[in-house]
Amino acid sequence: MRQRLAGHSVPFLPPGMVSGFEFQEKHMFGDRQFAEGRMFAFPSHYLKGDGFMDAEITLRVDGEEHRLTVDTRTTILDALRESIGNTSPKKGCDHGQCGACTVLLDGRRVNSCLTLAVAHDGAEVTTSEGLAENGELHPMHRSFIEHDAFQCGYCTPGQIVSAVGMLDEVEAGWTSHATEDGENVSLSDEEIRERMSGNLCRCAAYANMLPAIKEVSDR
Amino acid sequence: MKPYRYERAEDISGAISALADEPEGAFLGGGTNIVDLMKLGVSTPDVLVDVRRLMSDDIEETEDGGVRIGAAVPNSDLAADPTIRTRYPALSEALLSGASGQLRNMATTGGNFLQRTRCVYFQDTTTPCNKREPGSGCSALDGYNKNHAILGSSEHCVATHPSDMAVAMAALDAFVVTHGPNGERRIPIEELHRLPGDEPERDTILEHGELITAVELPPMGFSSNSKYRKVRERASYAFALVSVAAAMDVEDGVVRDVRVALGGVAHKPWRATKVEEALRGEPVSEENFRAAAEIELSEAEPLSENSYKVPLARNVMVRTLSDLSGEGR
């Protein structure tokens, strides 16, 4: 996705600095994508290959250990998709606003697009793909299928992981903004809407997601 | 994103010295805001010093009956903590009304205070913004400013502070404990954040390399009678247009003591001291609450698109105070 061409010569750079040009794919919802380029300057020692920008990390993804060398800027989302080849979590907004990239990080749901891989060396990551064990769909997968809880499917892996993480939070007794008496949590429709508000669906399949999640929670 | 070096220090003093010679360096906590700003080109640190694993993630009761919260405690754990929920409900409610479940799991207590404004111009590097680029001008003054400040702003900046948590902390008289190049200090939340003045690039009084390591909530008998009420453009996962955190001590229909702070109206969590002064010793009544709120808001200077915030802030204060006094039930 990302190309970096370093070492261009640009006038007026202070000594010890070199310039680079970075193309970054700018993702939009829908079928339009734009490439965006930006010039920047950075210290020349970054080019010496002395490991300033690269880090060796280990991630345990869906039960399998991966040893990776990542640029310090790499998010867990990009490490999963680009380095490991696990395209289950999706890149929607890439700014923590849509939830399509949701994974469980050491058991908790997070936005993998805002999570730097280098800061989570040794972490356990579970994607929607990893929720399926021994080829068996997770009950949440099955419920989404049974309730027709998606249309285009792009946000679905994030919705499913988020719902699974959310039910663990309810199990732990965490209240939410929608919890009526502030004490006892019963998973009403309003509770599900509130707790799942970090996952957007442009197809607006919410109406079917609600019963899909509720059915799993009732079991 | 600009290239940067990632460092993890051995301990807090190591983290502080790691930034001492790096004027463009920054600490990394949960990363939910700074990583976003780095992607946008708004934050361009040379070095990130990861402090998340260095700091305490414990919530402990202190000897004086207060609570000490480690700076690395995730927002979700702080909101769910039984002591916080029963003794400082406004804080739990504020946390739960902010962000999403995913973000609350990542965001830290210390980092929440240091979020940058969500002013659209601050986040857009193609437009002038004095906070991002001092001296370039304020695009919001005559631009899109319906979410901006009505109190304490300056001709250089009309941005608001985005945190819900910090508003509750202000009403609960919390302190942050910091460690920095000049040692340790304990700062009241009211003094942590600044008004923009002619230095809008500085959100807080923290020095470069000064790290929030803990937050202390003092014992406050009536903090169990506290509340956070937030008004936003959608039911969930949106920043406050206006919010109110309040705590009230009522006896025999008289306000013995009260704390009020406003969010979404200023460059910092706005402690409504005029409301507090006007209400101490006064009988509980909606008229008194309204009159007190109006004193506070008499200094409001709304912009072209946000005069709605003045009656909104008044009404949200009246409603919240009424609820706490038992009048609203």
**How large is the ipTM?**
0.96
Q: What residue spans in chain A does CATH classification 1.10.150.120 cover? A: 139-218
Instruction: Find chain A residues with C-beta within 8 A of B89's C-beta.
Output: 182
Asked if residue A13 has pLDDT above 60, the reply is no
How does strand A124-126 pair with strand A54-61? parallel
List of chain B residues whose C-beta atoms are within 8 Å of the C-beta of residue A105 = 105
**Domains of chain B, each with CATH number or no CATH:** 5-50 (3.30.43.10), 226-325 (3.30.390.50)
Q: Which CATH number fits domain A54-131: 3.30.497.10, 3.90.550.10, 3.10.20.30, 1.20.210.10?
A: 3.10.20.30
Whether B278 shows a pLDDT value over 50: the answer reads: yes
Give the 3-state secondary structure of residue A215: helix
Assigned CATH for A139-218: 1.10.150.120
pLDDT for A78 beyond 90 = yes
pLDDT at A32 over 80: no
Distance of alpha carbon A1 from alpha carbon B146, whole angstroms: 37
Among B6, B50, B108, B323, most A C-beta atoms within 10 A, so best to mutate, is B6
pLDDT tier, A24 (very low <50, low <70, confident <90, very high otherwise): very low
Shortest Cα–Cα distance, B163 to chain A (Å): 16
pLDDT number for residue A185: 79
What is the percent of chain B where pLDDT is above 70?
Answer: 99
pLDDT greater at residue B328 or residue A105: A105
In this predicted structure, the answer to whether residue A18 has a pLDDT above a threshold of 80 is no
How many Cα neighbours within 13 Å face the side chain of B120? 9
Q: Is B46 on the interface with A (CB under 8 A)?
A: yes
Residue A4: pLDDT band (50, 70, 90) is very low
| pLDDT over 60 at A217, yes or no | yes
* The token pair that represents B86 in the structure block: 């029963």
Mean confidence (pLDDT) of chain B: 97
Percent of chain B with pLDDT over 90: 98
Cβ–Cβ contact B79 with A under 8 A: yes
Q: Which residue is associated with the tokens 């006007």? A: B278
**pLDDT for residue B279:** 98
Question: Does the distance separating the beta carbons of B237 and A197 come in below 8 Å?
Answer: yes
pLDDT, residue A180, reads 79
List B165's β-bridge partners, or say none.
none
Beta partners for residue A33, in sequence order: A27
Per DSSP, which regions of A62-121 are E strands? 64-71, 102-105, 108-111
DSSP letter for each residue of A127-178:
-HHHHSBTTBPPHHHHHHHHTT--SS-TTHHHHHHHHHHHHHHHHTT---TT
Tokens 């640029």 sit at which residue? A71
Residue contact B5–A102, C-beta within 8 A: no
DSSP code of A205? T
The pLDDT value recorded for residue A42 is 52
With an 8 Å Cβ cutoff, are A176 and B103 in contact? no
Q: Which ranges of chain A would DSSP assign to H, the alpha helix?
A: 76-78, 128-131, 139-146, 156-171, 189-195, 206-218
Over range B250-278, report the average pLDDT. 98
> A27 - beta bridge partners?
A33
pLDDT exceeds 50 at position B30 = yes
How many CA atoms within 13 Å lie on the side-chain side of B92?
24
Distance CA A108, CA A123 (A): 11
- Compute the nearest-CA separation of A181 from chain B (Å): 12
Structure confidence at residue A29 (pLDDT): 39
CB crowding B156-190: b at 16 or more within 10 Å, else e: bbbbbbbbbbbbbbbbbbbbbbbbbeeeeeebebb
More confident position, A67 or A39: A67
Mean pLDDT of A78-92: 98
Query: Which one of A52, A162, A194 has the shortest CB-CB distance to B5?
Result: A52
pLDDT of A51 reads 57
How near does any CA of chain A get to the CA of B126, in Å? 12
Residues of CATH 3.10.20.30 domain(s) within chain A? 54-131
B215-233 average pLDDT score: 97
pLDDT digits (tens, 9 = 90+) for A114-161: 999 999 999 999 999 999 999 899 999 999 999 999 999 999 999 999
The model's pLDDT over A153-198, given as tens digits with 9 standing for 90+, comes to: 999 999 999 999 999 999 999 999 999 765 677 899 999 999 999 9
B120 vs A: CB within 8 A: no
> A177 and B96 in contact by Cβ < 8 A?
yes
- pLDDT tens for B94-115 read 999 999 999 999 999 999 999 9
Q: Do residue B102 and residue A99 have CB atoms under 8 angstroms apart?
A: yes
Q: Is the pLDDT of residue B91 over 60?
A: yes
- Contact of B186 with B116, CB cutoff 8 Å: no
> Residue A152: what pLDDT?
97
For the segment A4-33, the average pLDDT, to the nearest whole number, is 46
Residue B50 contacts A, CB cutoff 8 Å: yes
Cα–Cα distance for residue pair B318/B311, rounded to 1 Å: 10
Q: Scanning every residue of chain B, which has its alpha carbon at the shortest distance from the alpha carbon of A121?
A: B8
Task: Quote the pLDDT of residue A124.
Answer: 98
Q: Who among B48, B93, B101 is closest to A109 (CB)?
A: B101
Distance from CA of A205 to the nearest CA of B (A): 18
Question: By the CB < 8 Å criterion, does B9 face chain A?
Answer: no
For B294-317, the pLDDT digits (tens) are 999 999 999 999 999 999 999 999
Question: Which residues of chain A make contact with B2, given a CB cutoff of 8 A?
Answer: 40, 42
Lowest mean pLDDT among A31-40, A102-111, A152-161, B57-66: A31-40
pLDDT(A20) > 60: no
Cβ contacts from A onto B, under 8 A: 113
